[in-house]
Every structure is written in structure tokens, then in C-alpha cells.
Chains A and B, each alone.
Chain A
Amino acid sequence: MGGNSNVKLIDDNGIRIDGRRVDELRNLKIEAGVLKRADGSAYVELGKNKVLAAVYGPRECHPRHMQNPAKAIIQCKYNMIAFSVGDRKRPGPDRRSVEISKIISEAFEYVVFTENYPRTSIDIYIEVLQANAGTRCAGLTAASVALADAGIPMKDLVPSVAVGKVNDQVVLDLQKEEDNFGQADVPMAMIPRTGEVLLLQMDGHLTRVQFDRAMELAVPALHQIYAAQKDALARRYAVEQSDEPEDPATSEPQEG
């Protein structure tokens, strides 16, 4: 958070620099099953963010000492490609991506029925192709659809969004300038059906009242993203259904 609130990011009519209201999500596009080799995949565009997620597994767990005899482990790797940001990002994991990978892995442990697949690993790869703030949330949203596309049993899909504070106002889904010059950022992920929170981070400065307001903005947005996730999966399997006359319930994605 730059914390520089001199930069005017919301006009007197409450409209943000990209034309959105404070409670408005950026344009969201989700596609399921976009990669051939992966067991499951998804592509998400959230405003100018472009994120791909792929899932492999459950498969043999490497390294072997990470195996859990009682359940599958979830290993997420979040990565930003070199030209996804203004200044070239040096390829390879940095401290930020290691932390994000860890918290996304942990978020999915709760929803995936890992106990069905002892000793295996479910590997999630998130590649940020173009970044414009909120990439961990877009990545998590994509990864959840990719897990479903891989046919991995889960309690539910997990939508994710960030709320933040800009010019002393609580706003939904910060884009880049708002993130750079904003005063707070709260990425979160939730199971919409139960209201259980799977990912929550915060940095910046929020009063308790502002935090409450942030939650008021986040919950409907999470439901909106959740609907888009379900719609993406429905579209993906509706296409398969028309190609193949069999029962769609048994049409797992097959190795091509």
C-alpha cells in the first residue's frame, strides 16, 4: 500500500478511474477446460488480469517424504510470468509467490476431499499472464474451477476477491492504480454457501467500521464470482454433452 491518498482515484460522483462504482466488480470472464494435457484447467480474466490455472492429479506425490498416508496433499505453485508486470519480473519463485502459494494450498485443503486419495498429490499451477492487482484472488478463483474441471470431489467451489480502501472509501476489487495508491487491501476467499472463510489477509489501515463495510462489499461479490464459476463449468460440459450422446454425468475429461 502506498498510502498516498493525495492521488484522486474516486470522483465526486463516486465513480472510480476505470468507471466503476465502489461496489462494482471488474469484468469477469471464466472459461473451464482450456488446456489439453492438464487434468483440469481454467482461464480467468478479471479486468486486465489474465490468469491460467491447471490441475494435475491426484498423482504420485513428489517429493516422496511429503506423502501423507491418510490423505492427498495439495501443492499450489503461484507464478507471475516475466512480462506480466510493468518492470520485468525475474523468473522463478520469490518470497511473495512462495507465501501466496502456501496460503492458496491451505485454502483448498478444506474443500477438497483429500482423504479420498491417500499418499497422492494434487498439484495446482497458477500462472499470472498479465497482472493488474488482485492476481492471487483471480488465481484462486481459476484454480477452483480447474479442480472441478479435473473431476476432483470438493465440498464447493471457492470464489475469491479483494476489498480495499482508496481515498478513505472502502471499495471492491482494487485495480492496479488503486492498489498502488490505496490505503488497504484485503484479499479473501470464502465458501459462499456456508460463509466459511478460507483465505484472509489484510494490509494497510482499516478501522473496525471500515472492515465491516469491506465484508459487506465482499460477500455479494463472492456470490457473483461463484455464479460465474458455476456457469463456466456448465458451459464446458454442455459442449461435451452435445458432442457425445452418453450420460453427461459419466463424461469425465479423458486423456486426449
Chain B
Amino acid sequence: MARSIMSEIKKDHIHKLLAKGRRVDGRAWDEFRPISIQTNFSETAEGSARVKLGNTDVLVGVKMDTGTPFDDTPNKGVLATNAELIPMASPTFEAGPPDENSIELARVVDRGIRESQMIDLEALCIEPMKEVWMVFTDIYVLDYDGNLFDAAFLGAMAALKSTIVPAKSHDKGDDYALPIRHFPISVTAVQIENSILVDPTLDEEKVAAARLTVTTDENGDLRAMQKGGQGALTMDQIYKVIETSQRLGADLRKIVG
């Protein structure tokens, strides 16, 4: 995410603690910050969730509408994911069109939803080639204290799982819950020197050299990955994050419900 200036004292502090195997907030390397998820935050959205991951605060809403399918998937609903890093969330976020950070965030979340085949898109077909449901997932970052990827993904999961297809208002019969087949969860870790830290805070992200997000499904299979940051990861570190994602994914799934 956006890099901003950080005091040397703070950097030293993180490094010195890490040398003793500790984190600034006292968490274990593989421990998430407290998570709270409030679904149905919005009455105007078809589904929504506000997620707090430590001090990171993200609001995700799902809107649905009918539209024409893509030519290559004439019998499938359409998915679209967008993320906005709004200026209120951080002094480093600027108003205006989405920058590379918000595009990457949206695309990594989108990949997790899409590639896990979480949503039964065929069930969202109204008439092949003519009319399908379109699912728009919009992510708004309200307060940025690190690990937007997982906060946004948890929010997207909770929002989609609470989404009611507004069939009635479109004269398509009775409303029904969005058809969900799989339950992907993303886990993001950063590398600082030789350490791997799960669910990094903003300060940890600023010190980190590289980042890896691994999205697994309920069977522990891999559905999406994204390496970020200017550093390099060893294969051992990659396997460590994969295994951690498989393990913590099970716990996080219970929190989303």
C-alpha cells in the first residue's frame, strides 16, 4: 500500500522487537488482530458488511441489477469488484480515479471470489444471452491501519453471504439469497527480514519488504495468490504462508459464519 515516511525510531523498534520474536502489539507471528463483522450495515445495498480488523475499518456493499451477459459466458451472471481508498482513511490516500493500489486490492479480492467459484453464477442467469444478474461488490476503506486485503476479503465474504437477490423489484419472482457454493478466505502475511508476520499493521507494512496473500477454500485448496512489495520471498516462506493460510482460514471461516 501507499508508502509514507516513517520515523527511524519506530522502524528500529519493530526490528529490535522482531529480533526477539515479538511484535509491537504483542501478537504471535500468526495471530490476527481482533475481528468484528457487522452485516446488513446498509439498508440500501442488497448485502453489506462493516469489518474492523484491529484499527482497519472497511465497509463492503453488494448491489445487484439485471444486465446482458458477456458474449463468452452467455449463461452466467456477471461479477464486478471495485475498491476505493477514500481520503478520509489515510493521509496518503488521494481523491480521484482509482490508483494502482486500489486496483490491485479490488482485483485480488475479485480473484478470490471468482476463482473459488464461490457464487453459483449459472444460477444468476435469467435468460441465456439476454439477461443475467450482475453482482457489484464495492469496497470502501474507512480507516487504514494495514492489511486491507484480508479486511476487504472478510467484508466481501460477509456481504455476499448476506446478499438477497432483489428479484421482486425487478419482476423476477420472489427475492432469494445469493446462491453461494464455496467459502474462500484470504490470509495475508508480510516478510520483514527473515520473519513472516500474518495480518500486518500499517507500521509493519511500512517496514516489510514483501507481501503474500493466499486464498484457500473450505477444502484447503489454493484458489488465488498474489505476491506484492519490492522484496523477494524464498520458497520456504511461500510454503509457510500457504500452510498458515490453510490453517487460519478454517478459524476465519467460523468468524464470518
Contact = CB atoms under 8 A, between A and B. Distances in A.
Interface string A196-229: 1111111111111001000100000000000000
Contacts of B114: 203
B107 interface: yes
A1 B115 contact: yes
B235 A99 contact: no
B221 A99 contact: no
A190 to B, nearest CB: 9
A98 B232 contact: no
Interface residues of A, number: 31
A99 B100 contact: yes
Label chain B's interface by main secondary structure.
mixed
B107 A191 contact: no
B238 A109 contact: no
A101 interface: yes
Q: Kindly state the interface size class of chain B when it binds its partner.
A: 20 to 34
Contacts, number: 88
A110 B246 CA distance: 28
Label chain A's interface by main secondary structure.
mixed
Contacts of B117: 3, 205
Interface in A78-107: 95-96, 98-99, 101-103, 106
A211 B222 contact: yes
B103 A98 contact: yes
Interface stretch (B44-52, B193-201, B223-231): B223-231
B234 interface: yes
B143 interface: no
B223 A205 contact: yes
Interface string A1-38: 10100000000000000000000000000000000000
A197 B117 CA distance: 28
A186 interface: yes
A195 interface: yes
Contacts of A195: 234-235
Q: Top 4 A-B pairs ranked by shortest CB distance?
A: A109-B230, A196-B232, A202-B225, A200-B227
Interface of B: 98, 100, 103-104, 106-107, 111, 114-117, 209, 212, 217, 220-235, 238, 242, 246
Given A207-B221, A207-B222, 6 more contacts: A98-B104, A102-B104, A103-B104, A191-B232, A208-B222, A211-B222
